[in-house]
Every structure is written in C-alpha cells, then in structure tokens.
Structure 1
C-alpha cells in the first residue's frame, strides 16, 4: 500500500517547492504537477507531489490518516470518519454489478 500525505506549498517553482505539513517543512519535487502557488495543497508520495488537492480533500485525507493512527492505538475514531458514521457501507457501482 502506498500512502501520500497532503502538504501545503510555501514557495517554489516548476522543479521543486518548499512544502509544509504539521509544522515541518520539506523540499518536494513538483515535476509531476508543475509550479503551484503558495497556499496550494498537494499530495506528496516519496518526496514528489503527485497531484493537487483542494483544501477539503486535504482535510479528509488528514482525518483518515489520523483515524488510522487512533484506531491502531485503540481510540474512538467516529469524529474522524463522520462521513461514514450512521450509514450502511455501499459498494462502488462497478463492484455492485459483479455482486449480483
């Protein structure tokens, strides 16, 4: 499994950017997504920005990662997966067809 982390661009150019995640700054390759303005969110995997994110999607990914860590520690994760609480899980449409 590959995990990417949302990061916020501080400054950069077409090749690299200084990006921040939870108070830590890192130099990230921007070759796959191009230059992004300061404040933009990118999904970073192995030191490379692999796609851009909007702020909402970045928050959802952070919540899911926090939820995974909390679940591994045995803590309650309902608040971090609020979009899943209180509803029946649904298979994606392409899998529903094969389940019949």
Structure 2
C-alpha cells in the first residue's frame, strides 16, 4: 500500500524538483506532471509526483495524514483536522443519488 504525501516545491530542476514535507526536503521526479513553479503543491507517491494539487486540497490531505498519525498513537482528538466534515450530515456522491 502506498500513501500519497502532499509536498510543496521549493526548487525546480529539469525533470525533478526539491520538495518539502513536514520540514524535510526530498528530490521528487516530476516527469508525470511536468515542471512546476516554486510554491506549487504536488501529490507524491514513492518520490514521484502524480498530481498537482490546490493548496486547499494539499491541506486536507495533510490534515487527514496527521489525524491518522494521531489515531495510531491513541489520540482521538482529531475533529479539528476535519472541520469541513464536523457538524454536517454526510452527503452521497451524485452517482449514488436516486
């Protein structure tokens, strides 16, 4: 199983970029997404960028990963990481609605 990490570009190279996640820099292959400007957010699997993300989507993914980390440590105080879901009724996707 592979989990995608949202990473922010801090330097662009020819077919790779230096990206930052939780304070650590990694060199990421960007051949699938093309060159990206500094500040762009990428969804990265196994040191390869697979998708360009909006800042909002990158934050949602980062928050979900943080919630998973906390839950694995036994901390159930994670509601603040899902503010878009708390206090609302679940909605079916359009393709499942009658």
RMSD: 1.4
Structure 2 residue runs of 5 or longer lacking an equivalent are: none
Q: Does 1:68 align with 2:75?
A: no
- Give 2:8's aligned residue: 8
The Cα offsets for residues 12-43 of structure 1, whole Å up to 9 and x where unpaired, read as 23411111111111110000011111111111
d(CA) in 2 for partners of 1:71 and 1:91? 26
CA contact under 8 A between 1:13 and 1:34: conserved in structure 2?
Answer: no
The number of residues matched between the two structures is: 97
Give 4+ residue runs of structure 1 displaced > 3 Å after superposition: none
- Give 1:87's aligned residue: 88
Deviation at 1:44, TM superposition (A): 0.4
Q: TM-score, with normalisation over the residues of structure 2?
A: 0.89
CA contact under 8 A between 2:33 and 2:50: conserved in structure 1?
Answer: yes
- Give 2:79's aligned residue: 78
- Give 1:96's aligned residue: 97
Structure of greater Rg: 1
